[in-house]
């Protein structure tokens, strides 16, 4: 069995869990480029580019004469379109992908239909999962789905309502990860700050309990909505020895009229207050943000408002996304679409601003002592790792330090968007 996973860390965590289930059932998992009896593609559909990558992966698999199974977000949103591709044997929606082994076995027995899916609003099960990268970092799924229905986003249609498992079960998974020698866990989900709908618990309670798990040196929060990032959470991270001083907060726009059109549940003043409070209690924390450029109705004046707002904030980097028009969203029917060339220009402007922000943040940290977990990636006889506050550092390769916590002094910038690490 060969897996190919596209999209977010949540998809990778789920694929890793399903691969392990196949192995437990006696199957052998191989690389997607190798010969296999079944090729399984776990898809993403967040943008039209993601859709294109999915179709390319499907066509690559169908040319090999083996069974091809397509599952995940793209499969939930467009099952008939995928089923019509020659060579595709099975299409599994959001609820059915976790039963992929049963469906594959039914496929070989000739006792199955091509599409297995259900109405996304009927999906309420939560399947716990995690993935481990290079034995240094694990991505632990703590939440799935979203109730926010932003006007540009298909994720609620692809993944369903917000849901989660209990804190106790998540702690057990964290302990299992720790037993495998992994030092860092990244908490992942669709909208993790909204954790607790299924169990009557809260995200603050979750991180407070995870802080007690033995064997994990570092927890990192993947992304959290500004309106859900409370002072209580920020204060806890500031005093915790394990939770990394690193926040990734979706902004999407720095212009309130665009935020309103997007259906976002905050205005830019709320975002600014979160950044300012983090800086007040954690001056060296890393703060990242997502921004969408070219949303319908984003005039030059409104983009300039976004640019100047971000310029004024003490944040560390940006993830910039050109607006992607997705069918079955409210934004799809909006007027005043932005020319693709203008979107590209605005993207370049914000990417350049992001580079400036990151450089300034790295320089601000030079000379400080930080803890780093070095990873096994090697480039020109150097190893790389990230500090707790998400500064990429490099040092001469040393096998004994891979996957271990090292104390380093942050040195000068290199040409690889990283800093030299002086090992102490």
- Indicate whether 185 belongs to any domain: yes
Domain end position, chosen among 334, 365, 396: 365
Look at residue 113 and tell me whether its pLDDT is greater than 80.
no
**Average pLDDT, integer, range 129-155:** 88
Query: Same structural domain for residues 161 and 249?
Result: yes
Domain end position, chosen among 317, 336, 365: 365
Query: Same structural domain for residues 276 and 388?
Result: no
Residue 34 structural domain: 2-118
- pLDDT of 209: 97
| CATH number of the domain residue 342 falls in | 3.80.30.20
- Indicate whether 36 belongs to any domain: yes
Residue with token string 């992304």: 223
DSSP for residue 360: H
Query: Same structural domain for residues 414 and 355?
Result: no
The residue with greater pLDDT, 227 or 377, is 227
Q: Predicted confidence band at 118 (pLDDT cuts at 50, 70, 90)?
A: low
pLDDT tens readout for residues 42-59 = 988 877 788 888 888 888
- pLDDT of 375: 86
Query: Same structural domain for residues 271 and 149?
Result: yes
pLDDT tens readout for residues 362-411 = 999 999 999 999 987 777 788 999 999 999 999 999 989 998 899 999 99
Distance (Å) of CA 321 to CA 48, 213, 269, 394: 12, 36, 22, 28
**Average pLDDT, integer, range 271-297:** 98
Domain end position, chosen among 344, 365, 386: 365
Helix axes 203-210, 167-179, angle to 10 degrees: 30
Beta bridge pairs of residue 373: 386, 405
d(CA 285, CA 236): 13
d(CA 5, CA 95): 17
- Residue of 362, 402, 361, 399 lying closest to 385 (CA atoms): 402
- pLDDT of 159: 87
| Predicted TM-score (pTM) of this structure | 0.89
Mean pLDDT of the chain: 92
Query: Same structural domain for residues 46 and 107?
Result: yes
d(CA 253, CA 257): 9
Query: Same structural domain for residues 99 and 140?
Result: no
Q: How many domains does the chain have?
A: 3
Query: Same structural domain for residues 334 and 252?
Result: yes
Look at residue 152 and tell me whether its pLDDT is greater than 90.
yes
| CATH number of the domain residue 41 falls in | 3.40.50.12160
Q: Which spans in 211-299 are helix H?
A: 231-239, 256-262, 268-281
- Indicate whether 186 belongs to any domain: yes
Query: Same structural domain for residues 194 and 266?
Result: yes
Query: Same structural domain for residues 89 and 38?
Result: yes
Query: Same structural domain for residues 261 and 344?
Result: yes
Query: Same structural domain for residues 219 and 99?
Result: no
């Amino acid at each position: 069995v060969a897996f190919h996973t596209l999209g977010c860390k949540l998809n990778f965590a789920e694929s890793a869990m399903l691969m392990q289930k196949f192995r437990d059932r006696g199957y052998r998992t191989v690389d997607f480029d190798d010969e296999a009896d079944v090729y399984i593609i776990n898809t993403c559909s967040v943008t039209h580019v993601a859709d294109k990558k999915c179709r390319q992966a499907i066509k690559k698999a169908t040319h090999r004469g083996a069974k091809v199974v397509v599952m995940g977000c793209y499969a939930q949103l467009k099952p008939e379109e995928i089923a019509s591709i020659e060579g595709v044997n099975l299409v599994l929606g959001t609820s059915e992908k976790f039963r992929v082994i049963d469906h594959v076995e039914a496929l070989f027995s000739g006792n199955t239909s091509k599409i297995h899916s259900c109405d996304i609003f009927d999906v309420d099960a939560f399947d716990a999962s995690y993935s481990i990268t290079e034995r240094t970092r694990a991505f632990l799924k703590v939440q799935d789905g979203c109730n926010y229905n932003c006007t540009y986003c298909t994720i609620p249609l692809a993944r369903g309502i917000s849901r989660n498992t209990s804190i106790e079960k998540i702690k057990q998974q964290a302990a299992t990860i720790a037993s495998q020698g992994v030092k860092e866990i990244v908490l992942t989900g669709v909208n993790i700050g909204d954790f607790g709908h299924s169990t009557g618990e809260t995200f603050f309670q979750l991180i407070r309990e995870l802080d007690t798990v033995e064997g994990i040196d570092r927890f990192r929060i993947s992304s959290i909505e500004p309106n859900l990032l409370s002072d209580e959470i920020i204060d806890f991270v500031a005093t915790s020895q394990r939770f990394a001083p690193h926040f990734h907060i979706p902004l999407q726009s720095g212009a309130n009229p665009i935020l309103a059109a997007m259906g976002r549940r905050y205005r830019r003043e709320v975002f600014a207050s979160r950044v300012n409070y983090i800086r007040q209690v954690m001056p060296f924390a890393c703060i990242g943000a997502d921004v969408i450029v070219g949303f319908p109705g984003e005039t030059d004046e409104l983009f300039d408002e976004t640019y100047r707002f971000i310029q004024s904030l003490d944040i560390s980097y940006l993830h910039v996304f050109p607006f992607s028009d997705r069918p079955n969203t409210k934004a799809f029917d909006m007027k005043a679409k932005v020319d693709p060339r203008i979107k590209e220009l605005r993207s370049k402007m914000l990417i350049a601003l992001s580079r400036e922000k990151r450089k300034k943040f790295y320089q601000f940290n030079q000379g400080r002592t930080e803890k780093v977990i070095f990873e096994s990636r090697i480039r020109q006889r150097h190893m790389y790792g990230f500090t707790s506050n998400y500064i990429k550092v490099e040092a001469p390769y040393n096998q004994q330090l891979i996957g271990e916590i090292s104390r380093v002094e942050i040195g000068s910038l290199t040409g690889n968007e990283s800093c030299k690490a002086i090992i102490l």
